[in-house]
Amino acid sequence: MAPVQRMSTTMLKTLRDDPADAETASHKLLVRAGYVRRTSAGVWTWLPMGKKVLENVSRVVREEMDAIGGQEVLLPALLPKEPYETSGRWEEYGDLLFRLKDRKGAEYLLGPTHEEIFTLTVKDQCTSYKDLPVMLYQIQTKYRDEARPRSGVLRGREFQMKDSYSFDTTDEGLAESYRLHREAYTRIFERLGLDYRVVSAVSGAMGGSASEEFLAPAAAGEDTFVDCPACDYAANTEAVTVVVAPADPTGHGPVEELDTPDTPTIESLAELLGVPASATLKNLLVKIDGEITAVGVPGDREVDLGKLGEHLAPAVVELVTAEDFAGRPDLVRGYVGPQGLKLRYLADPRVAPGTSWVTGANKPDTHARNVVCGRDFEVDQYLDVVVVEQGDPCPRCGAGLEIGRAIEIGHIFQLGRKYADAFGLDVLGPQGKPVRVTMGSYGIGVSRAVAALAEQTHDASGLCWPREVAPADVHIVAAGKAVQIELALEIAEKLGAAGVRVLVDDRAGVSPGVKFTDAELIGVPTILVVGRGAADGVVELKDRRTGEREELAVTEAVERLT
């Protein structure tokens, strides 16, 4: 038994025009079809139809999490500052955190992810090795003050995430919890009808499979991944743009410090670097009139030699030398040679292991993002930075790699003992001695998955939902005459009684053309038209995806759909 949803009483306003600021298909269509409504930048309201789709995604996630033994909980989104100070993330997260104070001045944050609080919860609830393993999950609202909230619900500042955490006493236990999650995720994304790839999210140089991402290929995605057509190698370029190359496989030769001319000018500098005087260089350290003004510290600052030449014509531009680094631990040192940029990281207290970094790359106009200290380089180490391109050899089998854009829909991670160490999470072991717990954390972007589905499945006429997530199974369009509406409601009741989820367009005074257009836009998988044939008990069934139509007697149509 499924309740029949009548459009005449549903709050659902479709729009003919795309929202002005929308660039991606999911953003345009979810707004136009009346699924979501923008409340403020990156903050969205889920309208009745949208909430149904969101709920369907949540249901699938919940069923598969329960199937691997996950226990659902609900932690607060409003979190005290202290645990995040203990883990270091109060600082590390920087501007991404929404921070607030209560009336007494105590500091809080809105949770971007919940490792800290889950660790504390388990520390409180589990005391013996017999209490483990434990797998906890929640489907909850997360907050991240993203620098560029865009693409509608694809990247929100408030969004729905399923996050789960596993707690084990042994490394083997953690590996098993991770494996269970990986399988559950595979089932979830298959059931949702998403096309996806599982890719390595950590540098190949580190080895292991400590972290993998589930990517949904789509042009609107913000992630780039490489995929080997010949073997099963696939990785996020966040993990492979940077290749630590101690043996210098790029053939650039040894790193050399450049000689600084005595009285350098823009021209002499450009000549020295082997680039045109109009070139734009990144991560180049220069002194202008003795001041280090454009430096390759993390960030996106760049030196436009042409502009420098125009605006600072009389200025003396020189390369920074070793002495300039003395007492300046904030500087990251770069060398530009004819073949490209070489980087050297000096001992910098801010470059703590695990810190994510932006560096130059040995290609013009490129930056390598997310190089991680300790993973891709050591402090005070030279490295070659290699940007992977289409056709580059696969590190596993040598075949030409393919590069694609994708949406990160899930991320699984073997955390190990990082948080257990920070919070002293031990349980009493079999020998009566405390054992440090090892953890995994696993996320799915539940609201993002709705947008990813819209991206992958839409067509020129609108949304096109896979049945599992669709807001209804059948969309009945009653052309407009009273008898047609009557028959449509009759069919709707019959289908509803049989458990079929029905949306029926019973609006009076709306033209059939508008109703058909709306049905295509809304994207329910089967459209049943009650039109001219109604008097003879004949209706039309249309498959939203393939466009195939068929005329049937009412009884036959009902039979077919139940």
Shortest Å, Cβ 448 to ligand ATP: 4
State how far the alpha carbon of 245 is from the alpha carbons of 186, 200, 333, 382, in Å: 34, 19, 18, 9
Partner from Mg ion, ligand ATP, none contacting 84, C-beta within 5 to 8 A by type: none
Buried b (16+ CB within 10 A) or exposed e, 167-178: bbbeeebbeebb
Torsion angles phi and psi, residue 236, rounded to 5: -70, 140
Q: Which residue number places its CB atom closest to ligand ATP? A: 445
Does residue number 155 form part of the binding site for Mg ion (CB under 5 A)?
A: no
- 456 and 195 Cβ atoms separated by less than 8 Å: yes
Shortest Å, Cβ 348 to Mg ion: 24
Positions of E strands within 97-133? 98-101, 107-110
Shortest Å, Cβ 96 to ligand ATP: 9
Partner from Mg ion, ligand ATP, none contacting 161, C-beta within 5 to 8 A by type: ligand ATP
The residues in 437-466 that bind ligand ATP, with binding defined as CB under 6 A, are: 443, 445, 447-448
Nearer to ligand ATP, 154 or 286 (CB): 154
Of the candidates 234, 236, 228, 180, the one whose C-alpha atom is nearest the C-alpha of residue 66 is 180
How many other CB atoms are found less than 10 A from the CB of residue 48? 13
Whether the bond between 276 and the residue before it is cis, its omega within 30 degrees of 0, is no
Please enumerate in sequence order all residues whose Cβ is within 8 A of that of 309, keeping only pairs 6 or more positions apart, or say none.
Answer: 266, 267, 277
How many other CB atoms are found less than 10 A from the CB of residue 491? 25
- Please give the size of the binding site for ligand ATP, defined by CB under 6 A: 15
Partner from ligand ATP, Mg ion, none contacting 50, C-beta within 5 to 8 A by type: none
Tokens representing residue 151 in the block: 């693409």
The Cα–Cα gap between 196 and 52 comes to: 23
Nearer to ligand ATP, 185 or 335 (CB): 185
Does residue number 155 form part of the binding site for ligand ATP (CB under 6 A)?
A: yes
Shortest Å, Cβ 276 to ligand ATP: 35
Partner from Mg ion, ligand ATP, none contacting 526, C-beta within 5 to 8 A by type: none
The Cα–Cα gap between 335 and 261 comes to: 15
**Angle CA 557–513–458, to nearest 5:** 75
Does residue number 152 form part of the binding site for ligand ATP (CB under 6 A)?
A: no
Partner from Mg ion, ligand ATP, none contacting 410, C-beta within 5 to 8 A by type: ligand ATP
Does residue number 409 form part of the binding site for ligand ATP (CB under 6 A)?
A: yes
Partner from ligand ATP, Mg ion, none contacting 111, C-beta within 5 to 8 A by type: none
Shortest Å, Cβ 411 to Mg ion: 4
Shortest Å, Cβ 423 to ligand ATP: 20
Residue given tokens 């490792």 in the structure block: 115
Partner from Mg ion, ligand ATP, none contacting 159, C-beta within 5 to 8 A by type: ligand ATP
Does residue number 494 form part of the binding site for Mg ion (CB under 5 A)?
A: no
Nearer to ligand ATP, 155 or 544 (CB): 155
Please enumerate in sequence order all residues whose Cβ is within 8 A of that of 97, keeping only pairs 6 or more positions apart, or say none.
Answer: 84, 90, 109, 110, 112, 144, 145
Does residue number 144 form part of the binding site for ligand ATP (CB under 6 A)?
A: yes
Does residue number 411 form part of the binding site for Mg ion (CB under 5 A)?
A: yes
Which of 156, 337, 340, 462 is the binder for ligand ATP (CB under 6 A)?
A: 156
The residues in 16-45 that bind ligand ATP, with binding defined as CB under 6 A, are: none
Tokens representing residue 107 in the block: 């500091």
Which of 161, 269, 343, 521 is the binder for ligand ATP (CB under 6 A)?
A: 161
Nearer to Mg ion, 148 or 433 (CB): 148
The Cα–Cα gap between 361 and 384 comes to: 8
Q: Which stretch binds Mg ion (CB under 5 A): 10-18, 311-319, 402-410, 420-428?
A: 402-410
Does residue number 411 form part of the binding site for ligand ATP (CB under 6 A)?
A: yes
Partner from Mg ion, ligand ATP, none contacting 448, C-beta within 5 to 8 A by type: ligand ATP
What are the CB-based long-range contacts (under 8 Å, 24+) for 492-499? Answer: 492/4, 492/6, 493/4, 494/558, 494/562, 495/2, 495/4, 495/558, 495/561, 495/562, 496/1, 496/2, 496/3, 496/4, 497/1, 498/558, 498/562, 499/1, 499/2, 499/562
- 559 and 499 Cβ atoms separated by less than 8 Å: no
The residues in 103-132 that bind ligand ATP, with binding defined as CB under 6 A, are: 113
Nearer to ligand ATP, 122 or 161 (CB): 161
Tokens representing residue 510 in the block: 């709306």
Nearer to ligand ATP, 188 or 409 (CB): 409
How does strand 317-319 pair with strand 402-416?
A: unpaired
Instruction: List residues near ligand ATP by CB under 6 A.
Output: 113, 144, 146, 155-156, 159, 161, 408-411, 443, 445, 447-448
Contact residues toward Mg ion (CB under 5 A) are 408, 411
